[in-house]
Amino acid sequence: MKIGISTFVNDDSIGTVSLARAIEERGFDSLVVAEHTHIPASRESAYPMGGELPQHYYRTLDPFVTLGAAAAVTSKIDLFTGIALLIERDPITTAKEAASIDLISGGRFVFGVGAGWNLEEMRNHGTDPKTRGALLDERIEAIRALWTTEPAEYHGKFVDFPPSYSRPKPVQKPHPPIYIGGDSNATVKRVIRHAAGWISNPNPIEDITARINQLREGAGHDVPLAMFGTPYKDLDYWRAAEDLGFGHLALFLPTKPHDDTLRLLDRFAAQVATYRG
């Protein structure tokens, strides 16, 4: 099982280059970065975890720029969007950005996507929250077409373009791994429909087990599993996740300045060493 780091990279936190190098030097397997293009000032959407929206949501760097910088100074770690809000992104541009990172990194990009929860944020991008699931489906399909065919075309209700040349193509064949985030029956159906992996939040193990059983029953086989925001202290929780078949855990790293971040990474690395024993 891979164990990496998930975080919100901000403009007042440790720099991307220093963070990526520190993660790889300590033997972690990945850097997983979140995305929010902006946070509308008059929010109606409730923060799904309860309470006030943490400040790091307001200052998040672009994930593709962040992972591109990380790709240039690392050679081993996976570079994972966790998650890219694809309903707020142009699929043609996103396909090129993702393929570019995969090329620069030598095939280390992992494409985590989702529909998100901030209704005002997605509306600002012209996305109707009521149809965001269908939009996400089409954009995933369109990006896969751009990655794998030449010329590529796609004709849907929300995404439509004629035969087009799109380069670079990803290094990984047929394309980088795709993981879909969410915790709903619709998410389960979407993961199965796209033959993708599932991104879980660190929910109670019994809840995660129920979702995995749904996925396996619907797909008829095991589905790649990743978890983002895994608590770093609970080794029993890690073990239970690994027993369920998770191939990737990403420990949640709070958004902190340079020195504080390095101390936390040292602490996390010691926990991983203990776990791997």
Yes or no: is domain 2-276 CATH 3.90.1150.10? no
When mean pLDDT is compared across 8-12, 50-54, 103-107, the lowest value belongs to 50-54
Confidence of residue 90 (pLDDT cuts 50, 70, 90): very high
d(CA 178, CA 164): 22
Q: What is the pLDDT of residues 58-71, one digit of tens each?
A: 999 999 999 999 99
pLDDT at residue 198 greater than cutoff 70: yes
pLDDT at residue 44 greater than cutoff 80: no
Mean pLDDT calculated for residue range 163-181 = 98
The whole-number pLDDT of residue 193 equals 97
The whole-number pLDDT of residue 86 equals 98
| Torsion angles phi and psi, residue 138, rounded to 5 | -65, -40
Confidence of residue 52 (pLDDT cuts 50, 70, 90): confident
Confidence of residue 42 (pLDDT cuts 50, 70, 90): confident
Q: What is the pLDDT of residues 230-257, one digit of tens each?
A: 999 999 999 999 999 999 999 999 999 9
Mean pLDDT, the chain, whole residue set: 96
Q: What is the pLDDT of residues 136-158, one digit of tens each?
A: 999 999 999 999 999 999 999 99
What percent of the chain is predicted at pLDDT more than 90?
A: 94
Q: Where are the domains of the chain?
A: 2-276
What percent of the chain is predicted at pLDDT more than 70?
A: 97
